[in-house]
Amino acid sequence: MKRLIFLTFSVFLFSTVLAAQKGVDTQTEKIQQEGTKGTNITDGSGKTYDWGKDKTKVRARLANPYRLPARRDNLIKTILDVLKDQKLVVDEGASRLSDGIIVTQPFVFAKGAVITQTGLNRYAVLQNSDTVWRAGRYTLRIDVESIDGVQNNVSATAKVDGKSESSLVSEWTTLQSSGQAEDEFLVKLVEMVTGKLIDEPKDQ
């Protein structure tokens, strides 16, 4: 009789332990709860890695026109230096430096189907089409408008062209600028005038 009671008690105890093991996985529950709180992950060394939404940030483009504090003649000289650094050649015939108008010659930034498609997607707004682009170029026009002798508005306008080829004809087509060429110029100009970096170098 005692042996029967002992066996019954043993079976009950074993069933209780087994049921407990099949219950809630506390580790899984903890991971799920932490997953709903955020994206901070801590490794064994105590370092925390944040994969949050603020990790990837895109800088807003500069205002165009952009106001800069400088004498107009000095600012025009600086603009010419920036264009030279960017390998942009000034079109002497189209420019009127005394009026604060500077126009560049067309700058070819891409040649070849693959590179041109990528470049045009950067500098222009491409409509969905089957056009095969073979080259891309842009021309910049910079206008310097004096406000009070020590303040100037500098505006940049890009004319972007794509060259398409077929079996019969090869021609340049003017495309809508994305604003990228203008922003790249303004960033370099503002950095040179103010001495402050706008686009911080990325960590290696």
pLDDT single digits (tens) 149-180: 789 999 999 999 999 977 677 899 999 999 99
Q: What is the C-alpha R_g of the chain?
A: 32
Q: pTM for this structure?
A: 0.69
Distance CA 122, CA 109 (A): 11
Nearest Cα neighbor of 189 from 104, 74, 60 is 74
Token couple for 171: 């021609």
Q: Tens of pLDDT along 81-135?
A: 999 999 999 999 999 999 999 999 999 999 998 999 999 999 999 987 788 899 9
